[in-house]
Amino acid sequence: MNTLSVKVTEDIYYIGVNDRETHLFENMWPLDNGVTYNSYLIKDEKSVLLDTVKINKVDLFIEKMEEVLGGTHLDYLVIHHMEPDHSSSIRTILGLYPDVKIVGNKKTKEMLKEFYGIEDQNMIEVKEGDELCIGKRTLKFFMTPMVHWPESMVSYEKCEKILFSQDAFGGFGALNGPIFDDEINWKYYESETRRYYSNIIGKHSKQVQGVLKKLSDLEINMICPVHGPVWRTNPAKIVEEYTKWANYQTEEGVVIVYGSMYGNTATMAETVARQLAEEGIKNIKIYDVSKTHASYIINDIWRYKGLILASCSYNNGLFPAMANLVKVIEMNNIQNHILGICGSYSWSGGGVKTLKQFAECSQYDVIEHMVEAKCSPKKEDLDSLSIIAKEMAKKLRGE
């Protein structure tokens, strides 16, 4: 009985690893629940390794791979994506199996040289629709540029109709025993999968839409991504989720994000939240932008249609933590939202003014009424917030 690797199907093995030690994905996004680096090994007439893992987990990865190979030769290494969390063990593989043939596209070849100084003259360069026969199985390659790097591609195993999807259809979160979709509690992984999409993949949603269309003619029985669970029973579920996210489909609800130094803007945020509840809105999330990492806020913004940004002024401009969030929203090209704005100032203003400039540049449905309180919100300021709440509720209900 294999103790390390897991059979995906006959002769296809999962040899991925969990990383619960790394604090920040790409040194930016918190990994409270860890992350997986998935890799797969096919044993046919030829043996094929599909992607490697981040170098900090290379020892366990090699142990799993050697267990499956059982002393036999490794013939091919398919590189779907060159980001170092999937490629930084390539030199280790070449050291162990110097005759292995690398399979990648033209941009893969360029990045191998630039990242690792690897110039493999025997590399098999594949293009859109090319195939690699490895015995009874054949891999067909599809280019997926900017999902989410320019060299990204996927492969389709034609015999059992398995899609090896690189970062597409992946998510945050270590696999705590269960590996397959029929073993996991999806509710446990859903939010972390959407947080991964909204922060890592989401800015390329237009390209994702194109890839979903390109792959729609394939009969897919299983999806094997390089992060998160393997979808062996219901791959249509994760395709459905990605389709929804890539097309900016949202749920009824409001995310309220505030930046407040001394509690005055926080009071405004709490007030408008209560007024929204009185209007019948049930899904309301409030975030202190100074306390919660932007990735969690972006996750919920991607989910809910309503967004209210409330900020105090700081040095004639926007509160710095709020300014950073706005930049992240712009960077991720988040679309299809209703936007409300409020805030406070002491003498010079600048917070609401800057948010208004952001609103004017966005393609959001902007609530015209904006509330800006001087120093602390007075009764008339708090009462005026009800106009934002009422208008938000009407727009959410399509009235």
CA-nearest of 62, 80, 100 to 157 is 80
Supply the pLDDT for residue 131: 98
Give residues with Cβ within 8 angstroms of 253, minimum separation 6: 281, 282, 283, 284, 285, 303, 304, 305, 306, 396
Q: What is the mean pLDDT of the chain?
A: 96
Residue 122's pLDDT band (cuts 50, 70, 90): confident
Amino acid present at 37: Y
Q: Which two tokens stand for residue 385?
A: 């917030």
Q: CB-based burial of residue 284 (10 Å sphere; 0-12 exposed, 13-18 middle, 19+ buried)?
A: middle
What end-to-end distance do the CA atoms of the chain give, in Å?
62
pLDDT tens-digit series, residues 349-358: 889 999 999 9
Amino acid present at 357: Q
Q: Percentage of the chain surpassing pLDDT 90? A: 95
Give residues with Cβ within 8 angstroms of 279, minimum separation 6: 389, 390, 392, 393
Residue 3's pLDDT band (cuts 50, 70, 90): low
Task: Calculate the CA dihedral of residues 219, 108, 72, 19 and round it to 10 degrees.
Answer: -80
Amino acid present at 312: C
Angle at 56 (CA atoms; ends 187, 114), nearest 5 degrees: 105
Q: Which two tokens stand for residue 137?
A: 């199985």
pLDDT tens-digit series, residues 15-35: 999 999 999 999 999 999 999
Cis peptide before 204 (omega within 30 of 0): no
Mean per-residue pLDDT, 260-278: 97
The CA distance from 143 to 109, in Å, is 14
pLDDT tens-digit series, residues 59-109: 999 999 999 999 999 999 999 999 999 999 999 999 999 999 999 999 999
Mean per-residue pLDDT, 254-262: 97
Supply the pLDDT for residue 1: 42
Supply the pLDDT for residue 121: 73
Supply the pLDDT for residue 348: 82
Domains of the chain, with CATH numbers?
Answer: 6-240 (3.60.15.10), 251-396 (3.40.50.360)
Collapsing DSSP to helix, strand or coil, 326 comes out as helix
Residue 4's pLDDT band (cuts 50, 70, 90): confident
pLDDT tens-digit series, residues 312-322: 999 989 999 99
